[in-house]
């Protein structure tokens, strides 16, 4: 599969013109013979990409006091917990913040408030915050997330995730895509036998089919 994925990535790069921004490289799966109405069969994975994501990510944390200071020092955007309720009442602003950030963190005492007022916005996007214990520096969590890809099928047979950026080399992108491929197929009862199709593409480029070998 590695050779097939690498060939498809190379084609995707060749067939997409250079843009004025750094495009992501994405891999998409369509499953077959999998009942995704059963939550136990859904794909919900976080994969540490061996070559990293290839572009900066944005992390936002609900925190106050000393924890907020630590988060800001680590380059994390901070939201004052006192504003969570108001933010929940402004759906347009809440959606803007949800779409702008790749990951969310929260001090443990604020998790319930975030869920109550912002869960309707963050939940469907798979962006509910990760709890940060008081003795843990949020910089440590942020360092791990910068190389993390989230794979989430929900109840849909077709889903996708980014495996890097155009600034990375072909070998790096292939290694990342293989890490995602192996994690997804490893969660399926029949492995690649449950993959109906697989495609790779740049953010705005055409999709290139990957020849799936069972």
Q: What digits encode the pLDDT tens for the residues 184-194?
A: 999 999 999 99
Nearest alpha-carbon partner for 132 in 160, 154, 111: 111
Sheet arrangement for strand 208-209: 158-165, 24-31, 195-202, 208-209
Q: Which helix (H) or strand (E) holds 28?
A: strand 24-31
Tell me, what's the pLDDT at 18?
Answer: 84
Rounded CA-CA distance 163/14 in Å is 17
Per the DSSP assignment, residues forming a β-bridge with 44 are 152
The pTM for the full model equals 0.86
Query: What is the pLDDT of the chain when averaged over all its residues?
Result: 95
pLDDT band at 79 (very low <50, low <70, confident <90, very high): very high
Rounded CA-CA distance 195/187 in Å is 11
Six-digit token string for 60:
């936002």
Per the DSSP assignment, residues forming a β-bridge with 198 are 29
Place of tokens 């994975």: 45
Rounded CA-CA distance 110/151 in Å is 26
**What domains does the chain contain, in order, with CATH numbers?**
2-54+147-209 (3.30.190.20), 59-145 (3.40.50.790)
Nearest alpha-carbon partner for 71 in 58, 83, 61: 61
């Amino acid at each position: 599969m590695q050779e097939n994925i690498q060939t498809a990535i190379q084609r995707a790069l060749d067939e997409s013109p250079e843009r004025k921004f750094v495009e992501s490289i994405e891999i998409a799966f369509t499953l077959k013979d999998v009942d995704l109405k059963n939550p136990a069969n859904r794909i919900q994975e976080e994969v540490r990409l061996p070559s990293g994501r290839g572009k900066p990510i944005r992390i936002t944390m609900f925190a106050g006091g000393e924890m907020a200071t630590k988060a800001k020092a680590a380059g994390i955007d901070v939201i004052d917990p006192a504003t969570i309720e108001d933010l929940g009442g402004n759906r347009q602003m809440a959606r803007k913040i949800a779409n702008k950030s790749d990951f969310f963190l929260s001090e443990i005492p604020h998790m319930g408030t975030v869920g109550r007022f912002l869960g309707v916005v963050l939940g469907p996007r798979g962006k509910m915050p990760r709890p940060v214990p008081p003795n843990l520096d949020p910089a440590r969590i942020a360092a791990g997330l910068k190389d993390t890809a989230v794979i989430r099928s929900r109840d849909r047979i077709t889903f996708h995730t980014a495996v890097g950026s155009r600034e990375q080399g072909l070998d790096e992108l292939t290694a990342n895509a293989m890490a995602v491929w192996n994690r997804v197929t490893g969660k399926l009862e029949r492995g690649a036998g449950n993959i109906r199709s697989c495609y790779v593409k740049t953010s705005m480029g055409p999709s290139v089919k990957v020849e799936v070998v069972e």
